[in-house]
Amino acid sequence: MRKALESNSKMEWKTTGSVCLAVAVFFLLLFGLPDTFNRDGKVMTAIVSFGVILWIFETVPIGLTSVIVLLLMLLFNVGGTELIYSGFASPAVMLIVGGMMIAAAVNQTPLVKRMTYLLLQRWGKTAKGLVGSLILIQQIQAIFIPTTAVRSTLTLPVASMIIETIGAKKGSNLRSLIALSVTFAGNISGTAILTAAIGNILTVELIKQFTGVNITYFQWFLYTFPIWLLLVPSIWFLLMKMYPLPKEQRTFPRVQEEMKKRLEELGPMNREEIRCLLILLFIVGLWMTEPLHGMHPSIPALAGVVLLTLPKIGVADWEDVIKINYGTVLLLGVTLSMGYGLTESGAAKTISGYLSAEWFLELMRHPIVAAAVVIFMAQLFHKLISNVSTAVVTFIPIMVSVAANAGTDPVAIGFIAGLASLHGFMLIVETMPNLLAHGTGLITQKDILKPGLYATLLSMAIMVLVAATWWRLIGFI
């Protein structure tokens, strides 16, 4: 009881402190920024900073912070009401809504569980196979489940069950290996699939808004597939090397037996699962062929929702499918409006001016060097601004303006800035997979710091390598 009271007291102090800090920074920027910022630029910078602080500490619900930011933009009339609400008019919002509804519908069938159990039954008998399976599970889920949070939520209970089945003790290499496999897998699972992460969708929408260039589902896959293809085995190899196991802990026949038992409980694949799988393949097929038919990815997503919930054809009840996280919808709409506001108010251009020293612009004029610089800056920026969506929506407008000042392709720079912001391995607060794993007690900040540092350096090196080879080959940079 006493511990609970102390915990509540600490949370109250943290909430009060974060709100006071956000308010203080808001007024400091509103009245303290130099005159190089116009009125709207000062207001927009102050509002964004206010929201970023609350999103970092997460003492106020993310959705509520989004509403507060939206209200501040409306009260100060930054760019007009139409601009402020424009984030919610973006088709990206309906893509996320459709994606979450698809995930909810799929979860009403045993399809995801069956896929998970099959992989673990096939390869989960050895340590190498178990880690590889836990990493691959979320990569496959990413094709049709849109957010890393949902994928991690589905996979973490399986990891906990495996830990309990094989008796992995707290603090052991085996326990850390399993926990970090799920966590890091979640972080890289959004890399190659446009619809697999909110950050990807924000990146594409912001690039389209600022440059007029639309990056399709297929193009995103084309640009990022080599990165994902290198990241998956690299993360697996890193974890296996960092957490060596004694010989007696390298085989797990009980895992194979448990998976076999659970598959028998599910029974043979039923008609609902088959229909669900066919509908998912249909949706993905439409996403991949966007250059042929020109439909925005939100249209196949909504068509998929209809097919998955339509009586006689579908596999899920409509009332259950509409129970989605509207805090995520609010976050997406508001952060898009913030990005538009940063640009339209002139704030992004003014801030980029401070980064436009001649030596820095010279670096940005060399494509490979520019890619390396932006990747490094994105990682640093993400460490400071923990929320991925917020990092993407504040970093991209600034870097697009810098690219314009340097005469470098703003599409490539914006794309790299958004993509590099997805990977957060070092800090618990960087990504939802980290937070969710920490919430279950599987990992602590101490557990993730060292392997996270190596994973961060590895992901940066892989991105630079792909930029210097694949992207040069296909003419992207």
Question: What is the pTM assigned to this prediction?
Answer: 0.84
Residue at token pair 């974060």: 18
Alpha-carbon gap, residue 123 to 132, rounded angstroms: 8
What are the pLDDT digits (tens) for 73-124? 999 988 888 888 888 888 888 888 888 888 888 888 888 888 888 888 888 8
Structure tokens at 158: 């399986």
CB-CB contact of 315 with 276 (8 Å): yes
Task: Say whether pLDDT at 8 is over 70.
Answer: no
Rounded to the nearest 10 degrees, the angle between the axes of helix 347-354 and helix 39-57 is 80
Q: Where are the domains of the chain?
A: 18-84, 93-198+217-321
Sign of dihedral through CA atoms 443, 263, 130, 109?
A: negative
Task: Say whether pLDDT at 130 is over 60.
Answer: yes
What are the pLDDT digits (tens) for 341-354? 888 888 878 887 77
Alpha-carbon gap, residue 361 to 377, rounded angstroms: 14
Alpha-carbon gap, residue 100 to 272, rounded angstroms: 19
What are the pLDDT digits (tens) for 140-151? 988 888 778 778
Least confident of 325-339, 407-421, 456-470: 325-339
CB-CB contact of 94 with 205 (8 Å): no
Structure tokens at 8: 């509540």
